[in-house]
């Protein structure tokens, strides 16, 4: 008997110990506590206004604030302990059964063949004990998803492979499931092929090119006054008179302009550094491998994530290139897979996707060809949508906004009214650029879509994955023989607006034919 078969039999025997109701490891209590604390204090966008309103009171009575904070933490710890004690699970046959809930009891049964994805996570505090968090995803709502918060690494991996082994078995396969599982585990261990890896330098570029400086400044806009007061008090304690630097009665306009520019650059630098840190934390030691019949992504510095996806669940591939990505000569590649209807808007939805950051275009093309060997994205010629694409935005928003602003401002402030004219011309140019970017193309098997403004996104979509198609046409489009075409897939919908009616009919018919005649499974 080989060493590998002995190890597999030991793991299978270990899996059989889960047939009785049991709790997860006690270290899961830490997981429950941190999850509750994150749920309460993680939404700072909602807590910040309350804290800022009561800032003076907190400053005046810090002892009461500390007591209130300790009381909240004690309450969260108590709730976490009760949730941990109420959590039970077992694995019977080919089903994971979970009981949970303190006041409202709930039992969840997840058959192996209903589980669409098994994700493994290893937070930093699990590494000394060698435990993993096992996330079970289904194609239903997020209420049909479950987590086993702390399993030994070998046991979690064994359970993951057992679930995948059952999914690989067809109804007509006479192979014994346990034997098939052992064979599948051996194949997975020996046949992993590295498709892509990312260095720290690549992650730094990704953090720079994908930081959301303007978004962060916009979210902070309601708190500018309170933040200014807090920062002013802080600088006074440090002996710095910031108001003197920005006082127009004491400084020249050149100095004021340089001070504002320096302060803005400092804020942008800090936000960019945070973006780089978040990129490294999320994608450190990034590896994308092809294991047996799955793509597997592993990454993370503090929390190690392992996300797997069957190629049959892949709905389309998306190449993203923002304007800074163009400067660095990089792009991001997303594998868009089947998505649960209720989990699309959930905060954890993004963690279930496979995204490869900061790829050179040549490597992105290699990954695209590995997934879709017969795609023609680099060679297709995109057809533009009709120029009427710009009319709704122009006539319903931009022209009325320009007219109202000129009517309201010009009598009292002609200078500001004149300054708005170049801004309108700039926005009109961006609208025209968005129209010029929008393009579509097809071949015998794929739909190709291009869209964007300064950056650009490319979609490569197999037509046989189509779930639903709709064509729309209002009375203004009818005279110009134009239509909107909406294609719905398991990962979302794609719309091509203001396209010739003949092209819309041709693409719709081709997609419907592919979906009906293809023997390939859509998931």
Question: Is the CB of residue 149 less than 8 Å from the CB of residue 330?
Answer: no
Q: Report the pLDDT value the prediction gives residue 232, as an integer from 0 to 100.
A: 67
Token couple for 8 = 């597999």
Residue 269: other Cβ atoms inside 10 A: 11
Question: Is the CB of residue 139 less than 8 Å from the CB of residue 340?
Answer: yes
d(CA 466, CA 522): 8
- List b or e across 450-461, with b for residues whose CB sees 16 or more CB atoms inside 10 angstroms: bbbeebbbbbbb
Sheet of 482-489: strands edge to edge?
A: 468-472, 482-489, 492-500
Among residues 295, 325, 297, 292, the alpha carbon closest in space to that of 311 is found at 295
SS3 487: strand
pLDDT digits (tens, 9 = 90+) for 204-214: 999 988 876 55
Q: What is the DSSP letter of 386?
A: P
d(CA 48, CA 50): 5
For residue 5, with 0-12 CB atoms within 10 Å meaning exposed, 13-18 middle and 19 or more buried, which class applies?
Answer: exposed
Given a cut of 70, the residues of the chain with pLDDT beneath it are 1-15, 41-58, 139-145, 168-190, 212-232, 234-235, 238-253, 255, 339-352, 521-523
Question: What distances in angstroms separate CA 14 from CA 3, 10, 91, 94, 152, one per listed residue?
Answer: 17, 6, 12, 15, 10
Report the C-alpha dihedral over residues 20, 23, 26, 27, rounded to 10 degrees: 100
Tokens 């694995």 belong to 91
Among residues 315, 309, 296, 353, the alpha carbon closest in space to that of 520 is found at 315
Question: Is the CB of residue 31 less than 8 Å from the CB of residue 149?
Answer: yes
- With a CB cutoff of 8 Å and minimum separation 6, the contacts of 471 are 483, 484, 485, 486, 504, 505, 508
Question: Of how many residues is the chain composed?
Answer: 523
For residue 57, with 0-12 CB atoms within 10 Å meaning exposed, 13-18 middle and 19 or more buried, which class applies?
Answer: exposed
**pTM, two decimal places:** 0.76
Q: Report the pLDDT value the prediction gives residue 11, as an integer from 0 to 100.
A: 46
């Amino acid at each position: 008997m080989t060493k590998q078969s002995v190890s597999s039999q030991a793991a299978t025997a270990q899996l059989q110990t889960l047939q009785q109701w049991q709790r997860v490891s006690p270290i899961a209590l830490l997981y429950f506590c941190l999850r509750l604390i994150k749920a309460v204090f993680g939404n700072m966008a909602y807590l910040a206004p309350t804290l800022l309103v009561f800032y003076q009171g907190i400053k005046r009575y810090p002892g009461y604030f500390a007591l209130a904070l300790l009381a909240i933490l004690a309450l969260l710890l108590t709730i976490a302990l009760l949730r941990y004690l109420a959590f039970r699970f077992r694995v019977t046959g080919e089903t994971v059964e979970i009981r949970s809930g303190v006041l409202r009891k709930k039992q969840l049964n997840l058959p192996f063949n209903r589980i669409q994805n098994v994700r493994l996570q290893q937070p930093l505090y699990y590494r000394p004990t060698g435990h993993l968090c096992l996330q079970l995803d289904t194609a239903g709502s997020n209420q049909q998803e479950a987590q086993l918060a702390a399993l030994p690494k070998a046991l979690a991996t064994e359970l993951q492979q057992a679930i995948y082994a059952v999914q690989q078995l067809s109804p007509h396969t006479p192979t014994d499931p346990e034997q098939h599982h052992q064979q599948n585990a051996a194949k997975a261990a020996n046949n992993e092929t590295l498709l892509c890896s990312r260095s720290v330098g690549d992650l730094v570029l990704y953090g720079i090119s994908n930081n959301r400086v303007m978004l962060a400044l916009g979210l902070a806009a309601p708190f500018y006054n309170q933040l200014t007061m807090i920062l002013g008090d802080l600088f006074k304690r440090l002996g710095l008179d910031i108001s003197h630097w920005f006082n127009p009665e004491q400084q020249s306009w050149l100095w004021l302009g340089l001070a504002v520019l320096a302060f803005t650059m400092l804020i942008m630098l800090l936000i960019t550094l945070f973006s780089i840190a978040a990129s490294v934390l999320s994608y450190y030691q990034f590896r994308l491998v092809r294991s047996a019949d799955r793509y597997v992504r592993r990454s993370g510095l503090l929390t190690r994530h392992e996300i797997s996806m069957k190629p049959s669940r892949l709905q389309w591939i998306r190449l993203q290139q923002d304007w800074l990505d163009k400067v660095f000569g990089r792009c991001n590649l997303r594998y868009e897979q089947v998505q649960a209807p209720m989990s699309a808007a959930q905060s954890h939805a993004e963690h279930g996707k496979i995204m490869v950051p900061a790829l050179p275009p040549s490597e992105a093309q290699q990954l695209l060809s590995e997934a879709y060997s017969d795609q023609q994205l680099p060679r297709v010629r995109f057809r533009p949508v009709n120029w009427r694409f710009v009319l709704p935005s122009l006539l319903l928003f931009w022209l009325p906004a320009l007219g109202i602003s000129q009517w309201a401002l010009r009598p009292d402030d002609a200078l500001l009214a004149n300054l708005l004219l170049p801004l309108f011309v700039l926005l009109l140019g961006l609208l025209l650029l968005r129209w010029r970017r929008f393009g579509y193309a097809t071949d015998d098997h794929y739909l190709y879509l291009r869209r964007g403004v300064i950056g650009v996104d490319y979609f490569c979509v197999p037509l046989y994955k189509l779930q639903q198609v709709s064509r729309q046409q209002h009375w203004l489009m009818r005279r110009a023989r134009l239509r909107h075409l909406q294609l719905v897939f398991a990962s979302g919908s794609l719309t091509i607006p203001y396209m010739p009616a003949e092209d819309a009919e041709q693409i719709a018919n081709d997609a419907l034919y592919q979906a009906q005649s293809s023997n390939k499974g859509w998931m």
